[in-house]
Structure 1
Amino acid sequence: MSQASITFNNLSTRLGNNRFTWITAFAFALLLRQATKGRKPKLIADARRVAREVKEGELDFDEYDVVIIGGGTAGCVLAARLSEDPSLRVLLLEAGGSGVALRETRIPVAYSLLFHTKHVYQFFTEPQDFANGKKRFWPRAKMLGGCSSINAQMAQWGSPGDFDRWGDIIGDDSWKWSNLKRYFNKFEKYVPHPDFPDVDVSVKGQEGPMKVGYFSEVSEGSKLFIKACQNVGIPFSPDFNTSKGTLGVNKVVVNATVTKILTERVGGEIRTVGVEFAKSKEGPRYRVRARKEVVLSYNAEPVLSTHLRSAFSPTILMLSGIGPSGELRKHHIPSVLDLPGVGDNLIDHPVVDLYFKNRYDDSPKHVKPSSLGDVVKFVTSTLKYFITRSGSMATNFGESAAFVRSDDRALFPESAYPEKLHDTTSSAIGPDLEIFTTPMAYKVQIYLLEHGDFTFPMHTFAIHVVLLRPRSKGTLRLKSASPWDAPAMNPTYLERPEDVHKLVRGVRLITKIARQEPLVQRLDHSDKDPLLDSDTYLKSDKELEELVRERLETLYHPTSTCRMAPLEDGGVVDSRLRVYGVKGLRVCDASIFPEIVSGHTAAAVLATAEHLADIIKADLKEGH
Structure 2
Amino acid sequence: MWSREIFLTIVASLSLPVLCSSHIPNNYHHARALHIRNYVTSASVADSYDFIIAGGGLAGLVIASRLSEDPDTTVLVLEAGESGDDVPSFLNPPAGTYYDSLLGTSYDWAHKTVPQRNAGDRIMPWPRGKVLGGSSAINGMYFVRPSEVEVNAWKDMIASDDASSSEAWEWNNFLKSMKKSENFTPPRAEVEAMANIRYQADSIGAGGPMQVSYPGFMLPVVGNWLPSLEATGIASAPDPTGGKNYGGFVAALSINPTNWTRSYSKSAYIDPLPPRKNLDILVSSTVTKIIFDEKSDSASRVATGVEFSSTASGPRKVVNVKKEVIVTGGALGSPHILMHSGVGPKDVLDAAGVPLVSELPGLGQHLQDHMTALVVWDAKVETAGDIQQSGSEISKQAEFMSFVNSAIAYVNTSTLFAANAGEFQTNIRNALAESAETLVPSKSQEVVEGYKAIYSATEKLMPEGLGQIELLLSINSPGAIAIQAALQHAFSQGRVYINSTSIFDPIVVDPNYFSHFADLVTMREGLKLARRVGQASPMRDALGPETFPGPGVSSDAQIDDWLRGNAQTEFHPAATCAMLPRSQGGVVNAKLQVYGLANVRVADASVFPLSFSAHLASPTYGLAEQAADIIKTLYKTPSAPNDSSNNGDSDSDPNADNSSNSKNGGISLGSGIPSFSGAIWRTMICVVAFLVIF
**TM > 0.5 fold call:** yes
Query: Cα deviation per residue 1:485-536 (whole Å; 9 max; x = unaligned)?
Result: 11110000111011000001100101111111111111111x7x5xx34526
User: Unpaired runs of 5+ in structure 2?
Assistant: 1-14, 18-25, 160-165, 247-272, 429-457, 639-694
Q: Give secondary structure in 1 for the equivalent of 2:95.
A: helix
| Partner Cα distance (1:365, 1:312) in 2 | 38
In structure 2, what is the equivalent of residue 140 of structure 1?
128
Q: Give secondary structure in 2 for the equivalent of 1:430.
A: coil
In structure 1, what is the equivalent of residue 58 of structure 2?
73
What is the one-letter code of the residue matched to 1:394?
Answer: S
Q: 1:50 Cα deviation (Å)?
A: 0.4
The 5-angstrom pairing of residues 110-509 of structure 1 reads: 110-111=96-97, 113-171=101-159, 172-193=166-187, 194=189, 195=192, 199-246=199-246, 247=273, 250-268=279-297, 269-299=300-330, 310-364=331-385, 374=389, 377-378=390-391, 380=393, 383-385=396-398, 390-391=399-400, 393-397=401-405, 399-408=406-415, 412-414=417-419, 419-420=424-425, 422=428, 424=459, 426=461, 428-440=464-476, 459-509=479-529
Distance 1:283 1:273, change over 3 A: same
Distance 1:500 1:379, change over 3 A: same
User: Paired residues, what number?
Assistant: 536
| Partner Cα distance (2:575, 2:625) in 1 | 18
Q: 1:106 Cα deviation (Å)?
A: 1.2
- Match for residue 539 of structure 1 among 546, 554, 558: 554
Distance 1:488 1:253, change over 3 A: same
Distance 1:211 1:19, change over 3 A: farther
Q: 1:222 Cα deviation (Å)?
A: 2.8
| Partner Cα distance (1:291, 1:515) in 2 | 62
Contact 1:440 1:459 in 2 (8 A): no
Q: 1:158 Cα deviation (Å)?
A: 0.7
Contact 2:155 2:167 in 1 (8 A): yes
Q: 1:382 Cα deviation (Å)?
A: 5.8
In structure 1, what is the equivalent of residue 568 of structure 2?
553
What is the one-letter code of the residue matched to 1:157?
Answer: R
- Match for residue 584 of structure 2 among 566, 569, 573: 569
Contact 1:255 1:279 in 2 (8 A): yes
Contact 2:221 2:381 in 1 (8 A): no
| Partner Cα distance (2:65, 2:27) in 1 | 20
What is the one-letter code of the residue matched to 1:291?
Answer: K
| Partner Cα distance (1:41, 1:296) in 2 | 23
What is the one-letter code of the residue matched to 1:272?
Answer: A
Q: Give secondary structure in 2 for the equivalent of 1:266.
A: coil
What is the one-letter code of the residue matched to 1:550?
Answer: G
Contact 2:203 2:241 in 1 (8 A): no
Q: 1:221 Cα deviation (Å)?
A: 3.2
- Is residue 589 from structure 1 mapped to residue 614 from structure 2 by the alignment? no
Distance 1:354 1:19, change over 3 A: farther
What is the one-letter code of the residue matched to 1:313?
Answer: S
What is the one-letter code of the residue matched to 1:85?
Answer: D
The two structures have a TM-score, normalised by structure 1, of: 0.81
Percent of aligned pairs sharing the same letter: 30
Q: Give secondary structure in 1 for the equivalent of 2:408.
A: strand
Q: Give secondary structure in 2 for the equivalent of 1:598.
A: coil
Q: Give secondary structure in 1 for the equivalent of 2:293.
A: strand
Query: Cα deviation per residue 1:50-87 (whole Å; 9 max; x = unaligned)?
Result: 05xxxxxxxxxx01000001111100100011011111
Distance 1:312 1:288, change over 3 A: same
| Partner Cα distance (2:28, 2:205) in 1 | 20
Contact 2:48 2:322 in 1 (8 A): yes
- Match for residue 50 of structure 1 among 40, 45, 48: 45
Q: Give secondary structure in 2 for the equivalent of 1:463.
A: strand
Greater RCO (CA < 8 Å, at least 6 residues apart): 2
User: Unpaired runs of 5+ in structure 1?
Assistant: 1-8, 12-16, 21-27, 33-39, 52-61, 300-309, 368-373, 442-457
What is the one-letter code of the residue matched to 2:604?
Answer: D
Q: 1:356 Cα deviation (Å)?
A: 1.4
- Match for residue 64 of structure 1 among 40, 43, 49: 49
Distance 1:132 1:177, change over 3 A: same
Distance 1:490 1:278, change over 3 A: same
Query: Cα deviation per residue 1:114-164 (whole Å; 9 max; x = unaligned)?
Result: 223221011110100111110111001110110111111000111111110
Give the stretch that moved more between structures: 83-92 or 116-125. Answer: 116-125
The 5-angstrom pairing of residues 12-91 of structure 1 reads: 41-44=37-40, 46-50=41-45, 62-91=47-76
Query: Cα deviation per residue 1:222-266 (whole Å; 9 max; x = unaligned)?
Result: 321222111111112354111333455711111111111111133
